[in-house]
Structure 1
Amino acid sequence: MRMKKRYTIGVMIGNANSPHTMDLMQGIFHAARSMDINVLFFLGIHSSYYYKSYFGEDTEDDYDYQFNAAYDYQAFADVDALIIAYGSLCIFLDEKERETFLDRYKDKPRVLVEERDCSGTSTSIIADNYHGMYGIVEHLVRDHGYRSFTYLAGPHGNTDARERRQAVYDVMKEYGISFDESRIAYGDFSSCVKEQVNRLLDRFPDMEAMICANDVMAETAYRECARRGMIVGIDIAITGYDDWELAETMNPPLTTVLQNAFDMGYMAVIGAAELCKGKKCHSVVVPAKLRLRESCGCSMQTCWQDPNSVHTQKNVWKWISESYIEECLEEILVENTDIVLKYKAKEYLWSIMEVDFRIPESEENIKRGLQKLFDSEISKYISGVSLLKVFDRFTDECVQMELQRKEIHKEAISNLLLRKRQLHDKILAYIIKGEKDYFSTFQQESWFVPLISKDMLCHMDDEQEMYRRALVKLHALKAEASYLYIFKEPIAHFRNEEWHCPERMYLAAYQSGEQIISFKEDERPEVSTICAGRGMIVTRKRNGRNYVATLLCLFSGEMQYGILVAEINPSNLALFYLISRQIGNMLRMYQMSREQKDMQWKLEALVQEIREKNEVLNFISESDALTGCMNRRGFMEKTLQMNKENEGKEMVILFADLDHLKEINDSFGHIEGDFSIRHCAQTLKSVVGKEGIVGRIGGDEFCVVILGNMEDGQRIIEKVREENEIFNRSSDKEYYVELSAGCTSVICRNGLVIADVLKEADRALYEAKKLRRKTVKKDLES
């Protein structure tokens, strides 16, 4: 019997560290598990925007561009179809790359997410950005009467951002509101828009509403308004887009548009599977749903009004609760959830709502029902925040229903309010516990990350063991399997230079459950783009299960070393991002260690040659050929010897400079310049005598060292000046030969740095040179 083919789908993701993209990845992950499809995420992570957000400055070395290399590794994976989350990619691709990116993968069946396909060659899934944004802006104009707006837009080149921006323009035009480009600031859909928000607030202090292209940027707008003492929903209206998980919990709750990224991810997998089966490409536009809350100025009473709400239905509890469960399921579960899961979720919700909330007996029933739900297997598929929202809304509408009765039952209303508080407290406690457990686990697991570096560092003398140690901790960090591939040699990838993906990689080590295997250098399995079907970067599991894996580039600075492929839940992505950076840095250290060893071997090979050459150099004269003084090398050696032999004694170092040597050379010729240098050297030697050391250490620079103090040094300087004066009076030369000099003294001691002492003497010389003649020409002086 022929077995059903299991498809492998590659997913190209850009801004993987944004909440919207993480929801998209979760939808893809759960769809792959449900549909028995292999998925491989090719991941780009961009941290420079967040660095700037936290530290207020750009990173000195931004290597985010290295992550873009990940997309080319699909050539190694033998994928049947691609999902390209183009909306997240185009934020970070430059203009040239945007034009060619999709064309690079035209030979693969593909699904575009957050981008329209005009060519008919791809299935596209995109939210109804235009009507969603149109609805929210029209609500601000029509229902609230606002007339002064600013818009915090998404990035240029992004389809979502472009359609939402157009909707804003069209509403303003429709209602005759003055609105132009000056009222728009452009962000990148991240929280790094503090500067843009404040620019709008400063420029338009009278604005009534700030419309934000997504919820993450709206959160930043909340923070900046709070810093200015502005109350959102009262002093200024703020709206978002996406209805991310925290929108309902913001203070006040954020008015936004639901764009369910989880659903879009789920639908993308369905679309890719259909293409693999030979079905035609098609386009899906996901309807947008307006979520009215207090941030736009609406009151809770306004937000309750809904023609389909329960208070318009008959006062029969079972009928009311059963009808509301269907609405509840739509919000707490994704649209594509399989029917079995929906049925189970419905049972749990009914167990909570089966006893009338208006009577005291419902208290215990709610407690038991919620606990069963939280302990069940389906709890991981349910959003706690969404569950909190639907029960809050349900109890509020039930209260409204009771208030509309001719005869108000205060006890029923009281019980409903108590049930609302009970549900709110229980669900909130569950959410907080889940978040606390998550962050506690993340904190504990983060402690393992430095241990990976430590283990690799301790085994750099054994390459095979070093690669094994890189994967030892990953099973404990919830990786079902992981694969470490390396290049034959590291590849330099510089910014603004074209990346050339290698044709071959080698499996250095892999981890499957608790088992870890590493290979010797000459035994590593090869994977190649030339025969991707035979050598794939992820192998199918022996137990027959599908896999969902994430590919992360291993790099440090400009150097690319390979890739890490890990079968993980997207919720663990942040941790494995840190791990990949640690491994990349350790591979850089290993490269440097190997280069150091190679250099050491070469140095040892040269030692003998250097030793032999030194013996020859020792025969070279230590004197200066022109003057007969010590040359620089000889002077330094003799000075070091004097310091060593006279520890504790005072020593004078004098720095002298022939005045205006260049003028002598230019006016009278280099022969006369050489004469002047020789004369100065002779004068210094005669004044110092045999007790001192005289050296010519530069073209016109001399140094003198002699035991003595500063007074001795000044006497030498004065004697040199007198000798030069006598010479110049009696000389028939047309120019003066003079020296400027400065000195300093030190105590001879072990560890004395002669170069530092020379600097002090040089500073004294600098002061003396201020007093030299302006010219050495005697005729000009006269």
Structure 2
Amino acid sequence: MDKGNERITIGVLVGGIMDYFTIEICRGVAQMARTFDVDVVVLPGKYLNRDLSGNKELTYEYQFNTLFQYAKIPQIQGIIVAEGSIGCFANEEIMREMLSQYEGIPSVLIASRQEGYTTVNFDNRIGIREGMRYLIEQVNCKKIGMLGGPLCNSDARERKEVYEQVLAEYGLPFEKKQYVGGSYERGCYQEAGRLLDDNPDLDAILCVNDDTALGLYEEMKRRGLVPGRDISVLGFDDTRLAARATPPLSSVKADPMELGNVALKMLLNKIEGRSVCDMELPTHFVRRGSIAKVKQKIVTEEAGKASELADAYFGDIYYRYRDGEQADVIYRLKDSFIRLVDLLEEAAEGEELLSNQAFRIEMAVDEYIASGAITYADMGVLIPNFQKIFHDVESSVSNIEMRCELKQLFANIYCKMLQAMDNRWGEDMEYKIREDHQTKLFVRETLLFEKGNDLSYAMMIGRLQWLGVKNAMVYIFPEIISHLARESFVIPDYLYLKAYLKDGVAISIPKLRQKVSRNMLFRNNVVDPDRRFFEVMLPLYSNENLYGVVLMDLTEKVFENGEFLVNQLSSAAKMIDLLKTNEKVQQKLEESLAVLKENNIALDNLSRIDAMTGILNRRGFMDAAQKMIDRKDGTVYVIYVDMNNLKIINDRYGHEEGDYSLKLIADILGKTVEGRGVAGRIGGDEFACALDYDKEDEGEAVLQEIYHQFYLHNQSSDKPYNVTVSAGTSKVDEESGLTLQHALTQADEGLYHVKMLRSKDVAKE
């Protein structure tokens, strides 16, 4: 569908890529998008104003909400906003502020009561009334509680109002403690516990949605209570999890797929300039095992002919698939179902079950099961509906033997169904094993790159085909964006299209063609500008850092693996960036190394000099002294020198005077050994010398020379204190066999004995 010469692109803003409500809305939009030939990009944010203080794992999920900014790109001609999910924790003021940024863009809101906007909603009243009337009239419930949602949400408010109205209509009591508000989430155990504690005599509980009901299930299980036996439970939404719960959850069927379907039709009419009115879609009650069996039969109905009711039975079992991509499959399934019912009814008209009739029925059952009877059925209502069919067929039979044969026939049908269910579960297990293997391969191969270059982005999306994705694009921001919670986010003026997947082939984009304006992200000349798409945009982020976004085909497996997919691709983007940074650092290091090599001698000398005194440091002294020992055939004397009373000078005269004293020692020692050895400061107030020495006085002459130099200085100095040292000697020669380190240790021991005799009086008289 084109508007002028421009192909229409619709943005769909939803909450949570793996949320049931989101998935069904998107399915409905997808179905209608194919019909009208329009392009769609789904922008799955999260839930505004959600309190995440108790869940650190979700601390950074707010990064998903940056996707809502992309709905303002001019390439999008209209938007559908699933306000019911995005704003399930937000009040109307927050939602109006969020919606105000799209002023001027044609829009339709789903599950919203916002004034001034075009909306499509469920009629919450019909289905809840049906369910509560059944509880009251058929199950004889006298006290019904409700586990509600946040009252800032219009659906939650409306469902509470209907609940109270029905109780009033039947004259049933209502106390405030019978209603406990919470969230739309499964983790409502505290609220469920409070409702049960405050109302131990409840007959039934209405839940604001199925997730809340399943949370109630878990709390009841902890207390040893069984839904349907101890307390009847009624949900809302009729999700697939509801039908698969134990026991299957009774619910109000509200078809989000139809919401998406209708919303897109309404939006296209708005874009074309047609007048559009708000719409409400009906809901209806679906009874399953979570509601107690009828305590007394109030109305006795005559059984109808099964063939006349076949359409109704089929619709009850397969209502989820009445439209959509499976239409052809469901049509064939319905044909086989009706043929089976006709054969059963035909067999019941005779006096006995003929062998050819039994064979034909058996073949019809096999055909029905092979057509997908178990795959597409709501398992919570499949067997109960066949029990109704049996009742309809049996009611027309008066012959006792024929009744027994019919019972046996239906028992065989149930056995075949159970076998098919078992096979289906086995297939599901095999599918799960294959999926786990594919997931492991994906995890490995999306991170199987060694360099932080643009080819790595192509590798990153090259394994998306296991999700059914054939087309994708990776956009990276010019710089990493640090985005904190509750901060506004602005899309950069341009992004870099690093790689794209086309028909399953990953292609890296040359640098000169990567730069794409933010207004051209969905359709541009780099990738086929005439392409058709139904895509989802996902953020690439790590904690507060945003790296970019990825666009890809929105498939069923993407729905199933959405959160995992974001985490994995984000990890890949982060790793590429780290590798890229590491390569830049490495390059700079190599450049620096070349400079260092050119100045190696100067740097080496610098690294061997004591910064304060200007003589060798410990490393420099040890290297220089060892070289003397290695090349000297005679004796090398080692002198260990320690300053006396440094602490006293520091404390009494100040640290500057202490530093002066250390520099003086270095100067005297350096001059003493100049031309015949080396001197160094080896730590704190400790010094060492190594020098060639041929006298047999064990270094006494050198020691006296050092002491004399300090005496001369103190005599001529105007300092109020004397600078003195203690020293010990040792020698390294062939006879002693000492190493340099051993010689220093021996000299230090000699110094210790001298130091014991020193005076601690530093002041001059």
TM-score class, shorter-chain normalisation, is 0.7 to 0.9
In the alignment, structure 1 residue 551 sits paired with structure 2 residue 537: yes
**2:602 aligned with 1:615, yes or no?**
yes
Are 2:205 and 2:232, in contact at CA under 8 Å, matched by a contact in 1? yes
Q: Distance in 2 between matches of 1:125 and 1:42?
A: 19
Runs of at least 5 residues in structure 2 that lack an aligned partner in the other structure: 630-639, 670-677, 687-724, 728-739
**Cα–Cα, structure 1 residues 341 and 669, in superposed 2: closer, same or farther, change >3 Å?**
same
2:311 equivalent to 1:318: no
Hey, what does 2:491 align to over in structure 1? 501
Residues in 2 aligned to 1:623 and 1:43: alpha-carbon distance in whole angstroms? 62
Counterpart in the other structure of 1:23: 24
Indicate conservation of the 8 Å contact 1:28/1:265, yes or no: yes
Residue number in structure 2 paired with 1:670: 654
How many Å separate the matches in 2 of 1:440 and 1:203?
Answer: 45
Do the aligned partners of 2:473 and 2:550 also contact (CA within 8 Å) in 1?
yes
Q: Which one of the candidate residues 182, 195, 208 is aligned to 1:186?
A: 182
Is it true that 1:727 corresponds to 2:727 in the alignment?
no
Match of 1:480 among 470, 486, 489: 470
The higher radius of gyration belongs to 2
Which amino acid counterpart does residue 376 of structure 2 have in structure 1?
A: G
Instruction: Say yes or no: does 1:562 pair with 2:548.
Output: yes
Q: Once superposed, what is the RMSD of the aligned Cα atoms?
A: 5.2
User: Which amino acid in 2 is paired with 1:470?
Assistant: M
SS at match of 1:494: coil
Question: Residues of 2 paired with 1:184 and 1:711: CA distance?
Answer: 85
8 Å contact kept, 1:385–1:431: no
Give the drift of 1:498.
1.3
CA contact (8 A) 2:10 2:41 kept: yes
SS at match of 2:535: strand
Q: Tell me how far 1:198 sits from its aligned partner.
A: 4.7
2:509 alignment counterpart:
519
SS in 1 for 2:67: helix
What amino acid does structure 1 have at the position aligned with 2:500?
Y
Q: How does 1:80-119 map to 2 (within 5 A)?
A: 80-91=77-88, 98-119=95-116
Identity of counterpart residues, as a percentage? 18
Instruction: Compute the displacement of 1:389 (Å).
Output: 1.7
One-letter amino acid of the structure 1 residue matched with residue 404 of structure 2: E
Which secondary structure state, in structure 2, belongs to the residue aligned with residue 354 of structure 1? helix
Per mean C-alpha deviation after superposition, the further-off stretch among 481-490 and 705-714 is 705-714
The answer on whether the counterparts of 1:384 and 1:430 sit within 8 Å (CA) in structure 2 is no
1:125 to partner: Cα distance: 1.8
Report the counterpart of residue 68 of structure 1 in structure 2.
Answer: 65
Match of 1:58 among 50, 56, 59: 56
Q: Contact 1:486–1:507 at 8 Å: present in 2 too?
A: yes
Structure 1 equivalent of residue 435 of structure 2? 442
SS of alignment partner, residue 501 of structure 2:
strand
Residues 16, 594 of structure 1: CA spacing in aligned structure 2 closer, same or farther, 3 A cutoff? closer
| Residues 195-204 or 591-600, more deviating | 195-204
| Deviation digits for residues 207-253 of structure 1 (CA, Å, limit 9, x no counterpart) | 66554322123223222332333333334443322121232332222
Tell me, what secondary structure is at the counterpart of 1:41?
Answer: strand
Summarize the alignment of residues 72-221 of structure 1 with structure 2, pairs less than 5 Å apart: 72-76=69-73, 78-91=75-88, 98-119=95-116, 121-122=117-118, 124-130=119-125, 132-133=127-128, 136=131, 143-147=139-143, 149=145, 151-155=146-150, 157-168=152-163, 175-180=172-177, 184-187=180-183, 189-198=184-193, 209-221=204-216
| SS state at 1:590 partner | helix
Deviation at 1:474, TM superposition (A): 2.9
Q: Distance in 1 between matches of 2:74 and 2:333?
A: 37
* Contact in 1 for aligned 2:495/2:516 (Cα 8 Å): yes
Distance in 1 between residues matched to 2:205 and 2:743, nearest whole Å? 80
d(CA) in 2 for partners of 1:571 and 1:706? 70
Structure 2 SS opposite 1:447 = helix
8 Å contact from structure 1 (residues 312, 401) kept in 2? no
Residues 392 and 420 in structure 1, CA contact (< 8 A), matched pair in contact too: no
CA change 1:659–1:288 in 2 (3 A) is farther
**Is it true that 1:226 corresponds to 2:221 in the alignment?**
yes
- What is the Cα deviation at residue 15 of structure 1? 1.8
1:466–1:250 Cα change, 3 Å:
closer
Aligned equivalents of 2:196 and 2:513: distance in 1? 63
AA matched with 1:286: L
Tell whether the 8 Å contact from 1:468 to 1:517 is kept in structure 2 after alignment. yes
1:279 aligned partner? 274
Contact 1:75 1:532 in 2 (8 A): no
Partner of 2:40: 39
* 1:111 Cα deviation from its structure 2 partner: 1.9
Alignment partner of 1:418 out of 406, 411, 428:
411
| Residue 772 (structure 1) aligns with | none
- Give me the TM-score of the superposition, normalised by structure 1: 0.71
d(CA) in 2 for partners of 1:618, 1:212: 80
Structure 1 residues 217 and 619: alpha-carbon distance in aligned structure 2, compared to 1, 3 A threshold? closer
Cross-structure match for 2:689: none
| Aligned-residue offset at 1:164 | 2.5
Q: How far off is 1:258 after superposition?
A: 1.6
Residue identity opposite 1:414 in structure 2: K
In structure 2, the residue matched to 1:739 is none
2:240 corresponds to 1:240: no
Report the alpha carbon displacement of residue 257 of structure 1 after superposing the two structures with TM.
1.6
Determine if contact 1:658/1:677 at 8 Å carries over to the other structure: no
Q: Which amino acid aligns with 1:354?
A: D
CA distance in 2 between counterparts of 1:677 and 1:185 reads 79
1:510 aligns with 2:494: no
Shift in alpha-carbon separation, 1:340–1:621, aligned structure 2, 3 A: closer
CA drift at 1:533: 7.5
| Bigger shift: residues 275-284 or 87-96 | 87-96
Query: For each residue in 1:326-362, what CA deviation from the matched residue of structure 2 results, as whole angstroms up to 9, or x when unmatched?
Result: 6556x24346899988765542331232211665566
Tell me, in whole angstroms, the C-alpha distance in 1 between the residues paired with 2:248 and 2:559: 28
Please report how far the alpha carbon of residue 436 of structure 1 lies from its aligned counterpart in structure 2 after TM superposition: 3.8
Asked if the contact 1:109/1:275 (under 8 Å) is kept, the reply is yes
Q: Which moved more, 1:580-589 or 1:394-403?
A: 394-403
Query: Kindly tell me: are residues 325 and 225 of structure 1, through their superposed partners in 2, closer, same or farther at Cα, counting changes over 3 Å?
Result: closer
Work out whether 1:634 is the aligned partner of 2:667.
no
Quote the residue 1:393 is aligned against: 385
**Residue 325 of structure 1: how far off its partner (Å):** 4.6
Distance 1:50 1:242, change over 3 A: farther
Q: Scaled by the length of structure 2, what TM-score is found?
A: 0.72
Between the aligned partners of 2:196 and 2:217, the Cα distance in structure 1 is 12
Deviates more, 1:104-113 or 1:553-562: 553-562
SS in structure 1 of the partner of residue 377 of structure 2:
helix
Partner of 2:695: none
What is the match of residue 560 of structure 2? Answer: 574
Please give the residue correspondences for 1:638-657 in structure 2 after superposition, counting only pairs within 5 Å.
none
| Deviating more after overlay: 609-618 vs 250-259 | 609-618
Equivalent residue of 2:101, what SS? helix
- Could you list the per-position Cα deviations for residues 373-425 of structure 1 after superposition, in whole angstroms to 9, with x for gaps in the alignment? 5666xx59x97232762453242364378479888764265146416514642
Residue matched to 2:691? none
Closer, same or farther in 2 for the Cα pair 1:430/1:112, shift >3 Å?
Answer: farther
Q: In structure 1, what residue type is equivalent to 2:336? A: Y
**Shift of residue 451, structure 1, vs aligned partner:** 4.2
What are the Cα deviations for residues 704-729 of structure 1, in whole angstroms up to 9, with x where unaligned? 99859999999988986x557x536x
1:76 to partner: Cα distance: 4.2
CA distance in 2, matches of 1:186, 1:351: 48
Moved more, 12-21 or 135-144: 135-144
Shift of 1:286: 2.1
Distance 1:525 1:363, change over 3 A: farther
